[in-house]
Amino acid sequence: ATLALKHISLYVVLLCSAAALQSPDVSTGPPSLPVWPDAFTQPFNETALVGHTRGVYFYDYRNKRSRTDRDSGNWDRVCGSVVSLIRTPCSHIVVRGVRYLYFPKLAKCCQCCTAEQGCGIVDRNWFTKAGAKYIGRDKNKQGLLCDKWLIQGVQPNYYWETVDDRIMAELFQVPEDDQVFDTWKRKLGHPPSALFDLPAHLNCSVQCGGPVCGLIQQDLLL
């Protein structure tokens, strides 16, 4: 009987140890605020109020440039305000302190707004500057265990980052835009420089127009 009890006790200890390994340890307090890598590329799925699209985010902080490609731009509030009611690819190209919109299939390129107007590249430390608040451990749409943060702007913005390797997993701008990033496809390193070249055959210096770019330029949005 004593041997049987020892076996049972050992079994219980092993179970408790396994559970401890699988359970998140938050007893030491919240993790440090997220900081993005200096440069990376990461695909995403995006769901808006009225539609869904795929895209890729290219980030190059050292050279102060970024690019966001969407298979369809009409669900994006900026692209969709310039070219509406058409499912067509749209890219945000941020370079030299200016945010351009590029619609390759429509042979259209225009200038939306500048860094001084709040349209520059996203800072690596934007969580600190925006006063992000830790919410706790939560699973994102893909079922990944993440640390969840709240960044309060004009609207609540929730950010999920994987616990172990701290990879961006999801960004939900309540209520209209939810980007779920492919964590396993995140690639560190500087994207090819050619991605940030504006199309030479188009005049990208013309103003985009549309309500969103117009409001940003008047300092009424963002």
The pLDDT confidence band at residue 32, using thresholds 50, 70 and 90, is: very high
The pLDDT confidence band at residue 85, using thresholds 50, 70 and 90, is: confident
Q: Phi-psi category of 36—alpha, beta or left, where left has phi over 0 and alpha has psi -120 to 50? A: beta
At residue 215, the 3 state secondary structure works out as helix
Rounded Cα–Cα distance for residues 204 and 98 (Å): 11
Q: What's the confidence (pLDDT) of residue 15?
A: 33
The pLDDT confidence band at residue 25, using thresholds 50, 70 and 90, is: very low
Rounded Cα–Cα distance for residues 98 and 120 (Å): 6
Decide: 99 and 109 in contact? Cβ < 8 Å.
no
Give me the chain's average pLDDT, please: 88
Decide: 147 and 35 in contact? Cβ < 8 Å.
no
Rounded Cα–Cα distance for residues 156 and 141 (Å): 18
Report the predicted TM-score, pTM, of the whole model to 2 decimal places: 0.85
Q: Which H or E run includes 18?
A: helix 2-22
The pLDDT confidence band at residue 17, using thresholds 50, 70 and 90, is: very low
Query: Residues 98-155: pLDDT tens digits?
Result: 999 999 999 999 999 999 999 999 999 999 999 999 999 999 999 999 999 999 988 9
